Amino acid sequence: MDGNGRWAQMRGKPRAFGHEAGVEALRNTVRGAGELGIKWLTVYAFSSENWSRPRSEVRDLMTLLKIFIRRDLKEIHREGVRVHVIGERESLSADIRSLLEEAEKLTVNNVNMNVVIAFNYGSRDEITRAAIRMAAGISAGNLDPKAVGPEDFEQYLDTAGIPDPDLIIRTGGEQRLSNFLLWQAAYSEFVFFPFFWPDFNKSSLVEAIHTFSERERRFGGLDAKVKAS
């Protein structure tokens, strides 16, 4: 969800105005994805690198998360959406942490759709934490390092139990992953939009899915026609 700040700047407004508009776009996107029958939607809400922004902007982003959860959790729950949170939790303030836990607990039995909020998330941090936990298992003698494969390792990631993304969409014109789901994106398709996140809506989502449907995914194999010949 990139480009909130530039969207606001273009209108001569403070960046916070863009973040607020970004939350509105997020709200519409979750709704739109549900209507389209999408089962898993992951949003990159706050990265482990976003702490380097001015303190006032970090505070604005934290406040917006609180407002989003307080205001939208009920509707999300009513719609049968299950909320998952990935990212480093320990260093978050207690109030943010308990809101995230509340969202997960309240929605744990919902099955219509899954929304994964990446908050204080960075892939390198996630992979490092996973490696440390796995190493602890090995040194405790609970795990044989010779028998460990990628399917075992990924059980230690924050995304254990969450399917890898088929499609990753980034708005705002930048064409990079910025520490998002590095492991999980191994075979994801990418769609980049030049416009800013607050302008994203259900029809952008439909357009991205249409582009995705025209891609040929081979997962390192051969395409069906070549294989048959």
Active-site choice (2, 114, 120, 158):
2
Q: Which stretch binds Mg ion (CB under 5 A): 1-9, 76-84, 99-107, 202-210?
A: 1-9
Using the minimum distance from each CB to ligand IPE, give the nearer residue, 27 or 77. 27
Instruction: Let me know if 60 is a catalytic residue.
Output: no
122 is a contact residue toward ligand IPE (CB under 6 A): no
2 is a contact residue toward Mg ion (CB under 5 A): yes
Scan residues 43-102 and list those touching ligand IPE (CB under 6 A): 50
Instruction: Let me know if 199 is a catalytic residue.
Output: no
**Count of residues touching ligand IPE (by CB under 6 A):** 10
Active-site choice (50, 110, 179, 201):
50
120 is a contact residue toward ligand IPE (CB under 6 A): no
Contacts of 7 (CB under 8 A, 6+ apart): 18, 21, 22, 196, 197, 198, 199
Using the minimum distance from each CB to Mg ion, give the nearer residue, 9 or 188. 9
172 is a contact residue toward ligand IPE (CB under 6 A): yes
Q: Which stretch binds Mg ion (CB under 5 A): 2-10, 100-108, 126-134, 196-204?
A: 2-10
| Residue 20: CB minimum distance to Mg ion, A | 16
Which chain residues interact with ligand IPE by CB under 6 A? Answer: 1-6, 22, 50, 172, 197
Catalytic machinery residues: 2, 50
